[in-house]
Amino acid sequence: DVALLVPIYNEDVSSVFGNSAAMLNDLSFRRSNHRFSLFILSDTQDEEIAAREQQTYWTLVETAPSNFAVYYRRRPDNTDKKVGNLLDWITNWGADYDAMIVLDADSLMTGRAIERLSDELSRDPSAGLIQSCPVLIDANTVFARTQQFSNMAYGWLLAEGLANWVRGEGNYWGHNAIIRTRAFAASAGLPRLKGRMGREQLILSHDFVEAGLLRRAGWRVRFLPRVSGSYEETPRTLIDYAKRDERWCRGNLQHLRLLSTAGMHPVSRYHLLHGAVSYLLSPAWFILLVIWFLLGKNSETNVVRYFNEANPLFPDWPPAMSHIDSAVFLIIMYAMLLTPKVIGATIIGLHPKAARLYGGRLAFLAAFAVELLLSIAYAPILMVQQTKAVLRSAFGKPGTWAPQNRQGHGYSLRTHLWFHWLETILGGVLVFGLASG
């Protein structure tokens, strides 16, 4: 018995229930050895949205294939967010199900993908969790299409490498994964963290930690990159992406406090460290740019010096850098950012069958060039936004954990200027500095 769990919180009702109906209908065409039930687990606090959920639920019950049970449960309070939502289901219904497939509000999986995950878990009694590799879909803005193309063109290379490296010490991304219910219930309960003034804090990015706790208990955590038919959506705008990124940043930086957890596998510790470092690299990059600025364009404008007129015989270490060194420094920095993209695009370009999936080699290379230029343009903006998120988290500034905006509505120029004022000013200063030599 496998439960399909869809935790929601003030989400778009038609999208959530439409995806749920599509998954059930696709499953109904397959002859499976597993029995599936669908649970809509609502934490919605908006009464108007909750009323639409209940009305749409009865429509789903009437139209769903007859061999699938469909349930709807709404909690009056959003206690402990998604962690509490799933804990409530495990406590009250979990014992009746061998496995649970955890989905997100924007998740969509084909019947074949759901069945493949279920088969893999049943064939591997040592596996506690099997994560699929979701592909981005439904992009209808320039920013979202950029993310979608990047995911399709380069994501497979990352996924294949990750799967070969982690083996049985994989990670959990919070959705589109199947979990052995009893293993999760017995070993993946989350503690509270002590915050400022001794106040308890909920672990926000819980999925990485849950994977580590499952592995600590002896269960394998696997990653299957070749399970086709696993999908999710991406934020439609750069502002929505940055807001989601700030939530993730807060959660991932908490992982630094969990690195010393007793009994954790070294690879599980690496997953926790990697998630935090991915955000700490943004302020590090910002500092490197400041250093590059201080190097100047020649020996006269180089602020970083080791010999000065007041004390010419004794150098200040480490040695000074020249203007050529600073150019190499910048090239190396961008090479690290862009090399994975170039490798992925080269492999696709050299294989005609793969290139045809993107409309042919010429169309693919044109799309690659556009994505590359846009990613270079977006990179410093995200660097500033992630640096702000790291500083807010470090100084304990409270943040919100609101549902993601999935409608992709546009923002006014005033909103853009308010949201991006810091990087706009910094960009203006850099342009002025470059123009003035």
Report the C-alpha gap between 427 and 304 in whole angstroms.
Answer: 22
37 neighbors 1 (Cβ within 8 angstroms): yes
Rounded to two decimals, what is the model's pTM?
A: 0.88
What per-residue confidence (pLDDT) applies to 295? 67
Cβ atoms within 10 Å of 361's Cβ, excluding its own:
16
Residue 291, both tokens: 């250093």
23 neighbors 105 (Cβ within 8 angstroms): no
Strands 99-102 and 220-224, bridge-based pairing = unpaired
pLDDT over threshold 90, residue 143: yes
End-to-end CA, the chain:
69
pLDDT band at 328 (very low <50, low <70, confident <90, very high): confident
- Report the percentage of the chain scoring pLDDT > 90: 68
Least confident span in 105-109, 324-328, 417-421: 324-328
What is the separation of C-alpha 311 from the centre of its chain, rounded to a whole number of angstroms?
Answer: 52
What per-residue confidence (pLDDT) applies to 321? 54
Least confident span in 28-37, 59-68, 297-306, 317-326: 317-326
What per-residue confidence (pLDDT) applies to 373? 92
**381 three-class SS:** helix
pLDDT band at 302 (very low <50, low <70, confident <90, very high): low
Report the C-alpha gap between 123 and 178 in whole angstroms.
Answer: 13
**311 three-class SS:** strand
Strands 200-201 and 127-132, bridge-based pairing = unpaired
pLDDT over threshold 70, residue 323: no
What per-residue confidence (pLDDT) applies to 338? 84
Report the C-alpha gap between 144 and 232 in whole angstroms.
Answer: 12
pLDDT band at 278 (very low <50, low <70, confident <90, very high): very high
pLDDT (mean) for 291-295: 71
Could you tell me which residues come within 8 angstroms of residue 206 by beta carbon, excluding any fewer than 6 positions away?
82, 83, 174, 190, 251
